[in-house]
Chains A and B, each alone.
Chain A
Amino acid sequence: MNDIKHHLSDQLLLGYSAGALPEAFNLIVATHLEMCDECRAASHAFDSVGGVLLDDLAKAEMSNDALSRTLDLVANTRQIHKTEVGSEIPNPLAAYVGSSLADIKWRPIGMGVRQVVLKTSKSATARLLYIPAGSVVPDHGHRGTELTLVLKGAFSDETARFAVGDVEMADQNLEHTPMADINEDCICLTATDAPLRFNSWFPRLAQRFLKI
């Protein structure tokens, strides 16, 4: 996909290579890497930093029988060759939601917008958002970082337009009202490391029940 305009920041790529991100953020990064050759190359470069650091580490001696035990383990494990099937959902995400958009169990969160919260570690939350063509996600700000990756369709907010493969990174300084393109429903994967902050009482109330 060559027309991706909004990429991952170096900070996220470094955090992903170092293994320092919460699972929900890892999921967004991995899904974007599946779609974006440029960021994938950058990610490999950051992995290389880890390789060099590994070379420089002082050795921690292994036990005397470590090699023979390892070879025993090799003999006892069978290689697993995964066969990936073509899917409309990128592989890293398919592990969480299955391989078909049609099978997703959406829950309405108001104004036509639907979501499903994915099961990840607690330090951040990942969810899929379904925004019908022309609809808006209620005006909201963020207490932490919010990443949004477009999987289908496109949306625009006060800052720019985001189409398939694009990532928007929003922090506490951004209050925005994302709106899906008029001609196509939009599906996004989002990750937040703190609850969203809605600017009217109704979504704020709903927030307490809907985990957003």
Chain B
Amino acid sequence: MYKNLERYEEPGASSVLLTYADVRELLRFNQKATPPAVKKTKPLKNWVTQLQQVQQSQDQTAFEELFNYFAPRVKSFLIRSGASTSTAEECAQEVMVAVWNKAHLFDPSRASVSTWIFTIARNKNIDALRKQRRPEPENLTWGPECEPEATDILTLQQETEQLRLAMSTLPDQQKALLQKAYFGDLSHSEIAAETGLPLGTIKSRLRLALNKLRQTMK
């Protein structure tokens, strides 16, 4: 099987953005040298406080802040994926309703608020616009007796920030490709064909950031 898998993932035959081999290579690289400094950008507001206020006390002011930031971006995402302006408006509202209703499921030690809302919007897109069911693994929720640790929340949020910094260093062409894969309805086979870039050209820092996120979420 693995022999076959490697053949499947060979660049040129059918390439992926990131592979386990990249991660292994990166770990070796990492032992040798520290990566060059990343251009400093101001960290984005992470919205965890607002979502927790909605979660714990159905706080409408906090929800309004979330709404003003996320609803127009979700709408933009849906328009990019092919929805009409009016459908996108309606679906964006429904996504925000889901944000309110599912706030109790949000776990800041496992996802950033942006990631969590992205997954809700993605599923709405598949469900409402592409009329497909979206099978999902069951949510791993924490019982009330095991709230996520503050340090775990901090680590996850910081690592997501690192991923954002890493992604900001990608060349425009690669950034555009990622955007197309996530928002532009690039199909599975197109992902294989279009990401047939030499893997070495994908910035190792992005791979590092993703790998750290993987480790954190185990």
Q: Do the two chains bind?
A: yes
Q: Which residues of A contact B136 (CB under 8 A)?
A: 30, 92
Cβ-defined contact, A69 with B93, below 8 A: yes
**Interface footprint category on A:** 35 or more
- Choose from A48, A50, A66, A174 the contact partner of B89 (Cβ within 8 Å): A66
Cα distance A95–B63 when bound, in Å? 32
For residues 54 through 81 of chain A, which have their beta carbon under 8 Å from a beta carbon of chain B?
Answer: 54-55, 57-63, 66-67, 69-71, 73-74, 77, 79-80
**Interface footprint category on B:** 35 or more
Cβ-defined contact, B214 with A20, below 8 A: no
Cβ-defined contact, A159 with B101, below 8 A: no
- Asked if A200 lies at the interface with its beta carbon under 8 angstroms from chain B, I say no
For residues 80 through 118 of chain B, which have their beta carbon under 8 Å from a beta carbon of chain A?
Answer: 80, 85, 88-89, 92-94, 96-97, 100-101, 110-118
CB distance from A123 to the nearest CB of B (A): 8
Q: Given that A19-B126, A48-B111, A50-B118 are contacting pairs, would A55 and B4 also be in contact in the complex, using a CB cutoff of 8 Å? A: no
Q: Which residues of B contact A30 (CB under 8 A)?
A: 135-137
For residues 69 through 107 of chain A, which have their beta carbon under 8 Å from a beta carbon of chain B?
Answer: 69-71, 73-74, 77, 79-80, 84, 90-93, 95-96
Q: Which residues of A contact B18 (CB under 8 A)?
A: 10, 14
Cβ-defined contact, A48 with B97, below 8 A: no
- Choose from A6, A21, A48, A70 the contact partner of B67 (Cβ within 8 Å): A70
Cα distance A70–B64 when bound, in Å? 10
For residues 22 through 37 of chain A, which have their beta carbon under 8 Å from a beta carbon of chain B?
Answer: 22-23, 25-27, 29-31, 33-34, 37
- Apart from A19-B182, A48-B111, A174-B4, what are 6 other A-B pairs with CB-CB below 8 Å? A9-B9, A30-B135, A31-B137, A45-B214, A52-B164, A95-B135
- B contact residues vs A (CB 8 Å cutoff): 1-5, 7-9, 14, 16-20, 44, 60, 63-64, 67-68, 70-77, 79-80, 85, 88-89, 92-94, 96-97, 100-101, 110-119, 121-123, 125-126, 130-138, 160, 163-164, 167, 178-179, 181-183, 185-192, 210-211, 213-218
